[in-house]
A and B are shown apart, each in its own frame.
Chain A
């Protein structure tokens, strides 16, 4: 039995914002199935009572002083923008409405 279906792969591509063609989805579905079957081994050893570790170091709530410091200028911040206008990032339409 496969660990992941072709429909699930298509759904994942949508969630991941990847516009993939059918060939690419077919190829990925087979590879993801192989990888997921290999990594499922983690289920063999981890009993319910083992606490999770999300991070190598036990750091929590790291703060720095709330001080005003120099930051990027608008020109610097926009220097890599695919499109900019009036010191703002220009983006394609976000709301699905008639122009």
Chain B
């Protein structure tokens, strides 16, 4: 099998056994990127020399007898929201075009420490605001299953890269579903860890009480290995959890759901759910039952209010966070001709540097936080957050995990929702509750609807990350037995450019 078709765990073993070098593995992936990324547009930045230098360093560390982790020498695509000193970091925005950060994000530093080889930076909706990459200032990434459709978002470059075999692993950030939704619509695995389980230091902030870095991979085990490599307490992030990383790798290998109590969220079904999505979800629940899980229906009555609460809380936090783009210290500056004041330059720069969705959310957040409206909007949204937390707590008294479809529909055509923000926001309907409360959640492939991937979402209590891997791995194993391989093997082949 070609190197680019292999998973991260297998590549790690081949590298450890000396059967292949990190340079060879990196070259194979760089060649694949050169051959298909013209169609997929997953990457904003690829620099062969920088990548190969990293790979050579890993080979040297190994040759020197250094004890290396299971992913040493494995390539990874890195979302452009994480700062990197050796590659530009734009967060998909014109306001940061060409910016070279002076420091590495903690996640970046831990990837380097674990010997992962960064292939490049992946496309995303500007400042992680969106569900399709259509809000990127640098073009739209394409879904490898159908190049006319969106790869999800905001981490759509990262999902597309892994689904197109340009990288075995990638990083993402999940604020309202930005890892799970793209994973679902491209037929791969994506995990939102417990909030605070992975560091936000060096992650360009969107909504600080929600932003959570997490892994993408083509298998649950590969995602767990990456999760373990970059997670854990970070003193540089004051909201980082000072606890041991849950045993996610062990859980992914364990893959047993016998006797496990599974709750089906009653509210995430019915109107608005594509028939094929509902059918694949029902089959996945039946599968869990056949594997020995005890399935019950659970009501979380406030989950339907999560979406409106999120679209008050996230814009409020973003309007505050994005105030840092002031044209003074880094990034774009427009109109500084000696006659204009700092405030005028700031306003001109922000009007030119931010795209329409970012402006919408800054304005919405400014509105929700302004005096006279605060109590009616932001205040109420925070109360809804409490109600959703109570729903989760009540549910987890009855069950060990909750399940739902990851998204109400499969990948929609590019352009279909581009100028209809409210329709676009519905893509995050099922994923948002776990963000508001910090819970761990995974999306694993559970079949096709009209030839497009459907994701199963599994949610666990805070710091119960191992449970989502355990259940996800069990579903994956059973379905791959049924299908005779991973779902992604059913995706059409991309033509390779020479």
Q: Please list the residues of chain A having a beta carbon within 8 angstroms of any beta carbon in chain B.
A: 4, 8-9, 12-20, 24, 28, 31-32, 34-36, 38-47, 50-57, 59, 62, 64, 72, 76-77, 79-83, 89, 91-94, 96
- Verify if B354 is at the interface (C-beta below 8 Å from A): yes
- What's the least CB distance linking B366 to chain A, in Å? 5
Q: Determine if B470 is an interface residue (Cβ-Cβ < 8 Å).
A: no
Q: Is the interface of B mostly helix, strand, loop or mixed?
A: helix
A56: B residues at CB distance < 8 A: 195-196, 209-210, 435-438, 462
- Given the interface pairs A52-B379, A52-B385, A56-B462, the reply to whether A92 lies near B330 with Cβ below 8 Å is no
- Cα of A49 to Cα of B434 in the assembled complex, Å: 23
Contacts of B384 in A (CB 8 A): 42, 45-46
- By the criterion CB–CB under 8 Å, are B385 and A53 in contact? yes
Query: Are the CB atoms of B235 and A64 closer together than 8 Å?
Result: yes
Q: Is the Cβ of A32 less than 8 Å from the Cβ of B363?
A: yes
How far is the CB of A91 from the nearest CB of chain B, in Å? Answer: 5
> Is B462 a contact of A35 with CB atoms below 8 Å?
no
Q: Point out the residue from A39, A57, A89 that lies within 8 Å of B311, measured CB to CB.
A: A39
4 pairs of A and B residues whose beta carbons are closest in the complex: A56-B438, A80-B330, A52-B382, A46-B383
Interface on B for A, CB 8 Å cutoff? Answer: 99-103, 195-196, 209-210, 235, 238-239, 241, 302, 305, 308-309, 311-312, 319, 323, 326-333, 336, 338, 340-348, 350-351, 354, 359-360, 362-364, 366-367, 370, 376-377, 379-387, 389, 421-422, 435-438, 462
Residues on A with beta carbons closer than 8 Å to the beta carbon of B101 = 80
Smallest distance from the beta carbon of A90 to chain B beta carbons, Å?
A: 9
Minimum Cβ distance to chain B for residue A53 (Å): 4
Residue on A nearest B362 in the bound complex, by CB: A16
CB nearest neighbor in B for A72: B102
Whether B341 pairs with A96 at a CB distance below 8 angstroms is yes
Return chain A residues, CB-CB under 8 Å to B209.
54-56
Is the pair A18, B367 in contact by a Cβ cutoff of 8 Å?
Answer: no
Q: Name 8 A/B residue pairs within 8 A (Cβ), A-sorted.
A: A4-B367, A17-B350, A18-B363, A51-B386, A53-B383, A56-B196, A56-B438, A82-B331
Contact check: which of B309, B364, B437, B438 meets A32 at CB < 8 Å? B364
